[in-house]
């Protein structure tokens, strides 16, 4: 646990350094694509109010100066499967983004979807020494959370305090300065398989980059594609990616739950490829060109040629109707959405005050998905696109980039995590000299 | 299973590790500035140093620079063909020509105008000289001559002296200037201005005035043609002379039988009579005494 604490703190320190230097790279390693954004932070606000554009929800202090996307290699279910191949993909993306930015980046924040994320809700409670809540009280409340058994080979990815309660008052965002007797903190903890982090660390290191942060891609997608009131009132973001579908639930601007379905757009492509007996590349092309989920009478008449080059005339000259294609795609998408519904039910999404569901990610661009999703998940479904940030090229504005944009926002406006607070003195090892120093600092 | 031994495919879009590293290195600002400024500057300096370290090369370089310079200087635009002298009398012009005798044609770059001017001004008769190169290859010398106003009878001979006391020329060279007033005595020329003022004061004496003699390098004697000397004081000589002239006007002082009028002591004027006059005076006094006795 303390190992993780230190490594997370080290990453936070690197992120601070990168922000001081003003340049940081965002790397979203997905199953289908690997995209890299280079962000430049500057204190001077280039966007003036006179432009007729508002503060853009406070997103104007950074600017995307380089963006590159490449096809992912060696990634399966959002996890790195072949290290060398993934490294190649990362190199390709980073190099192109650096070239566009005309600037070298050394620090990178990575997000990925896989590695079986699991959410835990923790509660910690302390009685206050002085009556007024101070930052150290918050830290000790967080430290008082009893850690559940997260299992062998699992690591904590996020541990964010989401709610504070003081005596009988709950729902405090910032308890500091309040007066009370007992402070309790609710914390959301997300764990993932530790080997995934190690592999990513290795990949990034082999690309001569330094890991300045790591985030779960459902979380990042939620940050960028949920609008402010959805995050406040409660909403679920469903990031339909290539290999996985991430689900993250937000309320009061905090993520309270995240999980993934290990199915995504690639599986739809795979179904088409298997069902129609065509190569995967053709299947991908047909899916993006003609794909859909709701068949109409018109679709029976629209023929799609399945050209191939085997030499068998009968095989090479097949055509199917669009309705048939829809018939292949729909069951898989339904299956994904059913899984999502199961996850939402597990998470208790029904009990949230608002049950907004936002579909985003590359696979959310299938025509008719919103209709199908509203039938399965409920009425309040909309398709989401990431927030617009400065300098992002048009090609990277689509829903497939919501995790990347969210990660950029994550870099610019990080949420408090457990390790951002000082460790209470009594949690230090007894031998620590730091403890003595801290005692002196606190008391003199 | 895919082959674990990596064989490079021709169409792999990913950059190799080294290509990636080189690109990152190239995007490093300091490396870039070193490579773009530092290395070329170093190369230029090093090549220059290697070239210069051989003395033959330095000589060749100097020769070629000199040759280039000469070829520019020798252009007809910069050539000076003749000298014109204005403001000088023919005699002086001849003297200037003799002093400053460049062998024309020569390039204007080779002319040391300041040196020439100094040499021309070293000629005694020249007060101010101005030398410039005019278009058409003309070296124009404009001279202001010193105007002689006095003749100075010095120990080494007769000199013409201008108003500031500078010697212009020996008098023998210009024998036609003997109408000028004459001064004499050691370093009399240095008090030329005072002498001129005295000559002006002594205007009423006309032809009788022979000249001024500087006595002991501090005061003047006015010498008249009939041998009378008026010894002027060191300070304020002109009023003293004026007084003498007034006495001459009133009592015909200078027509009397005297040798000297001594005004050196302002409180006391002394007249020295000629021996004859002195004898006459004595005789007259004796007769007066006798007459008194008789009477």
Dump the DSSP string for A260-287: EES--HHHHHHHHHHHHT--HHHHHHHH
CA angle A68, A246, A112 (to 5 degrees): 45
- As for the ipTM of the complex, it is 0.75
Task: Determine the residue among A91, A108, A203 to mutate to test chain B binding: the one whose Cβ has the most chain B Cβ atoms within 10 Å.
Answer: A91
- CB atoms under 10 Å from CB of A59, counted, come to 19
Both B121 and B189 in one domain: the answer is no
Report d(CA A201, CA B21) in Å as an integer.
Answer: 18
Q: What are phi and psi of A110, to 5 degrees?
A: -115, 145
Least confident of A213-222, A386-395, B159-168: B159-168
Both B152 and B108 in one domain: the answer is no
Share of chain A above pLDDT 90, in %: 35
Both B112 and B206 in one domain: the answer is no
Q: Nearest CA to A138 among A183, A171, A188, A186? A: A183
More confident site: A276 or B99: A276
| Helical (H) or strand (E) element with A315 | helix A313-316
More confident site: A331 or A419: A331
CATH of the domain at B245: 3.40.50.11690
Both B124 and B163 in one domain: the answer is no
Chain B residue with CA closest to A106: the answer is: B24
Which of B2, B6, B20 lies closest to A91 in CB terms?
B20
Mean pLDDT, range A14-22, rounded to an integer = 84
Q: Is B2 inside any structural domain? A: no
Residue A432: per-residue pLDDT: 67
Residue A324 confidence (pLDDT) above 50: yes
Report d(CA A28, CA A39) in Å as an integer.
Answer: 14
Least confident of A52-61, A105-114, A336-345, B168-177: A52-61
The residues of chain B scoring below 70 in pLDDT are 6, 8-10, 173-178, 294-295
pLDDT confidence tier of residue A55, bands split at 50, 70 and 90: very low
Q: Do B27 and A102 touch (CB under 8 A)?
A: yes
Report d(CA A84, CA B241) in Å as an integer.
Answer: 124
Pick the CATH number of A119-192 from 3.30.1340, 3.40.1350, 3.30.1490, 3.40.630: 3.30.1490
Asked if B18 has any chain A CB less than 8 Å from its own CB, the reply is no
Residue B48: per-residue pLDDT: 92
pLDDT digits (tens, 9 = 90+) for A229-244: 888 889 999 999 888 9
Least confident of A21-30, A106-115, A116-125, A423-432: A423-432
Under DSSP, the state recorded for A408 is H
Both B183 and B251 in one domain: the answer is yes
Residue A274: per-residue pLDDT: 93
Both B226 and B253 in one domain: the answer is yes
Report d(CA A110, CA A112) in Å as an integer.
Answer: 7
Residue B228: per-residue pLDDT: 86
CA angle A154, A158, A163 (to 5 degrees): 130
Q: Is B264 inside any structural domain? A: yes
pTM of structure = 0.65
The minimum CA-CA distance between A303 and chain B, rounded to whole Å, is 34
Residue A4: per-residue pLDDT: 64
* Domain carrying residue B248: 148-280
Residue A54: per-residue pLDDT: 46
pLDDT confidence tier of residue A29, bands split at 50, 70 and 90: very high
Residue A371 tokens read as 């209709």
From residue B81, how far is each of A374, B94, B95, B104, B138 by CA, in Å?
107, 18, 19, 5, 6
Q: Is B64 inside any structural domain? A: no
pLDDT confidence tier of residue A381, bands split at 50, 70 and 90: very high
CATH of the domain at B140: 3.10.20.310
Q: Is B222:B241 a contact under the CB 8 Å cutoff? A: yes
Mean pLDDT, range A91-117, rounded to an integer = 90
In chain A, where the domains are located: 119-192
Residue B88: per-residue pLDDT: 79
Residues of B in contact with A99 (CB under 8 A): 23, 27
More confident site: A54 or A430: A430
Which of B2, B14, B23 lies closest to A98 in CB terms?
B23
Mean pLDDT, range A162-172, rounded to an integer = 86
Q: Is A248:A237 a contact under the CB 8 Å cutoff? A: yes
**Domain finish residue from B122, B145, B168:** B145
Residues of A in contact with B19 (CB under 8 A): 95
Residue A98: per-residue pLDDT: 92
**Domain finish residue from B145, B169, B194:** B145
Residues of A in contact with B17 (CB under 8 A): 91, 206
Which of B6, B15, B21 lies closest to A208 in CB terms?
B21
The average confidence (pLDDT) of chain A is 86
Residues of A in contact with B27 (CB under 8 A): 98-99, 102-104
Mean pLDDT, range A55-69, rounded to an integer = 73
Q: Is B273 inside any structural domain? A: yes
Report d(CA A212, CA A25) in Å as an integer.
Answer: 9
**Domain finish residue from B99, B129, B145:** B145
Terminal alpha carbon distance of chain B: 179
Q: Do A95 and B15 touch (CB under 8 A)?
A: yes
Residue A56 confidence (pLDDT) above 50: no
Q: Is B133 inside any structural domain? A: yes
Both B86 and B158 in one domain: the answer is no
More confident site: B177 or A349: A349
Residue A337: per-residue pLDDT: 93
Tell me the HSE value of A10 on the side-chain side, using a 13 A CA sphere: 8
Residue B84 tokens read as 């014109």
Q: Is B163:B118 a contact under the CB 8 Å cutoff? A: no
The tally of domains found in chain B comes to 2
Residue A214 confidence (pLDDT) above 50: yes
Which of B6, B14, B29 lies closest to A91 in CB terms?
B14
CA angle B168, B172, B178 (to 5 degrees): 80
Q: Is B187 inside any structural domain? A: yes
Mean pLDDT, range A386-398, rounded to an integer = 86
Residues of B in contact with A102 (CB under 8 A): 27
Q: Do A88 and B14 touch (CB under 8 A)?
A: yes
From residue A374, how far is each of A81, A222, A330, A429, B25 by CA, in Å?
34, 19, 14, 53, 51
pLDDT confidence tier of residue A43, bands split at 50, 70 and 90: low
From residue B281, how far is each of A330, B101, B268, B278, B286 by CA, in Å?
167, 70, 21, 5, 9
In chain B, positions 26-85, which contact chain A (CB-CB < 8 Å)? Answer: 27-29
Residue A314 confidence (pLDDT) above 80: yes
Both B188 and B240 in one domain: the answer is yes
Question: Helix A322-347 crosses helix A369-377 at what angle (to 10 degrees)?
Answer: 40
């Amino acid at each position: 646990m303390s190992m993780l604490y230190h490594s997370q703190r080290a990453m936070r320190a690197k992120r601070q350094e990168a922000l001081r230097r003003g340049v940081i790279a965002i790397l979203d390693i997905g199953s289908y694509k690997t995209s890299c954004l280079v962000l430049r932070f500057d204190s001077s606000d280039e966007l003036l109010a006179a432009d007729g554009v508002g503060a853009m929800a406070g997103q104007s202090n950074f600017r995307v100066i380089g963006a590159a996307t490449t096809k992912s290699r060696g990634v399966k279910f959002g996890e790195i499967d072949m290290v060398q191949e993934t490294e190649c993909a990362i190199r390709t993306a980073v190099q192109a983004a650096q070239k566009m930015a005309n600037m070298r980046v050394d620090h990178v924040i990575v997000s990925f979807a896989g590695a079986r994320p699991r959410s835990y809700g923790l509660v910690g409670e302390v009685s206050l020494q002085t009556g007024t809540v101070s930052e150290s009280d918050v830290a000790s409340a967080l430290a008082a959370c009893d850690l559940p058994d997260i299992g062998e080979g699992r690591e904590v990815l996020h541990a964010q305090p989401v709610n504070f309660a003081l005596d009988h008052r709950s729902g405090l965002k910032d308890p500091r300065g309040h007066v009370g007797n007992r402070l309790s903190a609710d914390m959301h903890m997300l764990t993932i398989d530790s080997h995934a982090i190690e592999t990513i660390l290795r990949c990034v290191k082999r690309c001569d980059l330094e890991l300045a942060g790591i985030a779960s891609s459902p979380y990042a997608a939620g940050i960028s594609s949920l609008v402010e009131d959805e995050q406040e009132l409660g909403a679920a973001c469903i990031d339909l990616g290539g290999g996985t579908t991430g689900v993250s639930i937000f309320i009061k601007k905090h993520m309270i739950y995240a999980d993934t379905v290990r199915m995504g757009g690639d599986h739809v492509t795979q179904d088409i490829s298997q069902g129609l007996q065509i190569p995967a590349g053709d299947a991908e092309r047909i899916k993006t060109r003609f794909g859909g989920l709701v068949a109409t009478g018109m679709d029976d008449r629209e023929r799609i040629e399945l050209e191939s080059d085997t030499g068998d005339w009968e095989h090479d000259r097949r055509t199917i109707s669009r309705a048939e294609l829809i018939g292949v795609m729909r069951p898989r998408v339904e299956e994904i959405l059913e899984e999502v519904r199961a996850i939402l039910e597990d998470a208790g999404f029904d009990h949230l005050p608002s049950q907004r569901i936002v579909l985003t990610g590359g696979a959310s661009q299938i025509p008719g998905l919103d209709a199908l999703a509203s039938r399965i998940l409920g009425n309040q479904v909309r398709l989401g696109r990431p927030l617009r940030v400065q300098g992002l090229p048009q090609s990277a504005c689509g829903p497939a980039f919501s995790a990347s944009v969210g990660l950029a926002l994550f870099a610019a406006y990080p949420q408090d995590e457990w390790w951002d607070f000082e460790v209470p003195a009594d949690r230090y090892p007894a031998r620590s000299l730091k403890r003595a120093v801290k005692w002196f600092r606190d008391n003199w | 299973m895919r082959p674990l031994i990596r064989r490079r495919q021709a169409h792999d879009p990913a950059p190799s590790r080294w290509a990636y590293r080189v690109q990152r290195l190239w995007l490093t600002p300091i490396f870039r500035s070193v490579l773009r400024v530092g290395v070329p500057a170093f190369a230029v300096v090093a090549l220059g140093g290697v070239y210069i370290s051989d003395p033959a090369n330095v000589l060749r370089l100097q020769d070629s620079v000199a040759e280039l310079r000469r070829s520019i200087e020798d252009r007809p635009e910069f050539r000076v063909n003749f000298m014109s002298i204005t403001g000088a009398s023919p005699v002086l012009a001849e003297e200037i020509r003799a002093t400053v005798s460049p062998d024309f044609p020569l390039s204007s770059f080779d002319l040391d105008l300041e040196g020439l001017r100094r040499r021309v001004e070293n000629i005694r008769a020249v007060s101010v000289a101005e030398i410039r190169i005019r278009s058409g290859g003309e070296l124009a010398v404009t001279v202001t001559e010193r105007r002689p106003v006095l003749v100075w009878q010095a120990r080494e001979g007769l000199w013409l002296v201008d108003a500031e006391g500078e010697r212009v020329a020996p008098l023998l060279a210009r024998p036609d200037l003997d109408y000028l007033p004459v001064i004499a005595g050691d370093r009399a020329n240095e008090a030329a201005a005072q002498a001129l003022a005295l000559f002006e004061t002594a205007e009423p004496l006309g032809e009788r005035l022979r000249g001024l003699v500087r006595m002991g390098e501090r005061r003047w004697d006015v010498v008249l043609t009939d041998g009378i000397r008026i010894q002027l004081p060191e300070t304020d000589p002109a009023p003293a002379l004026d007084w003498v002239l007034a006495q001459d006007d009133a009592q015909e002082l200078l027509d009397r039988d005297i040798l000297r009028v001594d005004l050196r002591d302002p409180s006391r004027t002394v007249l020295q009579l000629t021996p004859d006059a002195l004898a006459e005076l004595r005789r007259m006094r004796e007769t007066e005494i006798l007459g008194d006795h008789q009477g």
